[in-house]
Structure 1
């Protein structure tokens, strides 16, 4: 019963962060699933981390899909941001998922940790993120072609949807935080879909039990998805509009909390 309450709470929180920060639930789900599997199943840290990343990636399909649908109706998604970046961002997930299965021991967790730490430092000390939004500049095709596969590769490897690269990228192009996080969700869809398929295939030879499809834990996926959906609905209905500069600072604060959780 206690486990169900914890999973429900984490799922609900992942839904909220999907709407407010464009995380797709990844940065909430990965640390939780890692610790949950590590302490409730007879699995190694390596297996627990890969399962966490894979399950988080699967959850993102539902979270980012529904959040994107709602943001589209709210006219927060701009086509000039999504295209052509979404085309190039779908190229790296296959290699990212494969790389994660090659990182043994705590290496994948260390990469996850380093990625968040670097992002926090970059957002705090490099100008353009915390400051108020300015006149937006459209992404060039060359930038999309260069950054898209890199974002997708890292996102699929860590199960985070790529928002921690796309949000700062769009922020420094002068977009409002609401636009940045709303755009992060549809941009995460290629990562989520391709990544989940790859984790299901790559983990096919593993014998984790009937609860799994490859590396994806079905029971945790369903629980996080259901309560994540409720979190998204509640966020859209009840959360007030956040001031732009406060929104940016809150983004950094949540990343810091995630970082601490992975240190424990």
Structure 2
């Protein structure tokens, strides 16, 4: 095995450890963390690198979100009871966004990713309700109040850019009055609803990608990269779900924003 491949696998394993942590603590199933890394690792694919990164991130998101959801307290999951239409629209949007990602120019996905994450950061800093509760005081848990109609656009944007549903759902749930612990926990089953149909679309693609750079390409998915990421992520998810750390809500929210900024910068660095 060539040293370059070994170093890439070690890098992906290390990033997997990070995505396992962010899945549990911030609801990031792997999408917005893994896309910049896979773009760099699969740079040999040229213009196809962004497409492969988005498709591969869907594998990581599905598995991470599935494991995290299975270990989630049923009382928290109960907040989504009766929201089957919302979940259905998220799934429909996820499939539609995946189809769009397969035909869109690579630059649109890459810079759309950067623009969306940057816009989200500005919104979280500028408007009350995320870092500063809109009504004053500490946020209180309440029933999940995502608008049903928002499911379709959330699903489309999430799977098209590979950012993962949490980048859209956590701010919305937070502004609905949920503490970060609840908002990030609910992001996992919502991400699963988006990423699962998107993954089916990506795997079904009859890929014409032949350039060097992918570790183990199946359709538009680099299963080799996904496997390395998951080997690092899954043990972390299991451990942190059993013994979640206690983080003050305000620090929790600021850390979320800081991670968004870090990933936006990383994507620019790996692209330019």
Output the TM-score relative to the length of structure 1.
0.90
Note the C-alpha offset of 1:20. Answer: 0.6
Gaps of 5+ in 1: none
**Within the alignment, does 1:214 sit opposite 2:219 as a pair?**
yes
8 Å Cα contact 1:97/1:156 also seen in 2: yes
Aligned residue in 1 for 2:67: 66
Sort the Cα spacing of 1:78 and 1:2 in 2 relative to 1 into closer, same or farther, 3 A: same
TM (norm. structure 2) is 0.87
Q: Are the equivalent residues in 1 in contact too, given 2:92–2:197 (CA < 8 A)?
A: no
In structure 1, how many angstroms separate the alpha carbons of the residues matched to 2:176 and 2:215? Answer: 46
Match of 1:161 among 140, 164, 167: 164
Task: State the Cα distance separating 1:152 from its structure 2 match.
Answer: 0.4
Range that drifts further, 22-31 or 99-108: 99-108
Residue in structure 1 matched with residue 266 of structure 2 by the alignment: 261
Kept in 1: contact 2:64–2:234 (CA 8 A): yes
* Distance of aligned partners of 1:76 and 1:138 in 2 relative to their CA distance in 1, 3 Å threshold: closer
Partners of 2:16 and 2:232 within 8 A in 1: yes
1:31 to 30, 36, 47: 36
Please say if residues 215 and 224 of structure 2, whose CA atoms lie closer than 8 Å, have aligned partners that are also in contact: no
Show the counterpart of 2:142.
136
- C-alpha contact 2:52 2:222 (8 A) present in aligned 1: yes
CA distance in 1, matches of 2:81, 2:124: 20
Q: Deviations over 1:108-162 (max 9, x none)?
A: 100000110111111111110013314636527xx21x10000000111122321
Instruction: Please give the residue correspondences for 1:69-148 in structure 2 after superposition, counting only pairs within 5 Å.
Output: 69-72=70-73, 75-80=75-80, 83-84=83-84, 85-131=86-132, 132-134=138-140, 136=142, 138-139=144-145, 143-144=147-148, 146-148=149-151
Structure 2: runs of 5+ lacking an equivalent: 1-5, 133-137
Question: CA offset at residue 87 of structure 1?
Answer: 2.4
Alpha carbons 1:24, 1:160 under 8 Å: kept: no
Q: How many Å apart are 1:239 and its aligned residue?
A: 4.7
Tell me if the contact between 2:57 and 2:226 (Cα under 8 Å) persists in the aligned partners. Answer: yes
Give the deviation of 1:33 after TM superposition: 0.5
Q: CA deviation at 1:230?
A: 1.7
Alpha-carbon distance between aligned partners in 2 of 1:124 and 1:221, rounded to the nearest angstrom: 33
* 8 Å contact from structure 1 (residues 155, 162) kept in 2: yes
Match of 1:199 in 2: 202
1:200-227 CA distances to partner (integer Å, 9 max, x unpaired)? Answer: 2234344468821111011111111121
CA distance in 2, matches of 1:37, 1:81: 40
Contact 1:96 / 1:153 at 8 angstroms: preserved in 2? Answer: yes
| Aligned equivalent of 2:58 | 57
Q: Is 1:16–2:21 an aligned residue pair?
A: yes
- CA contact 2:51–2:106 (8 Å) conserved in 1: no
- Tell me if the contact between 1:8 and 1:227 (Cα under 8 Å) persists in the aligned partners: yes
Root mean square deviation of aligned Cα: 2.0
Cα gap change, 1:250 to 1:202, in 2 (>3 Å): same
The 10-residue stretch of structure 1 (59-68 or 78-87) with the greater mean CA deviation from structure 2? 78-87
Distance in structure 2 (CA, Å) of the matches to 1:254 and 1:5? 22
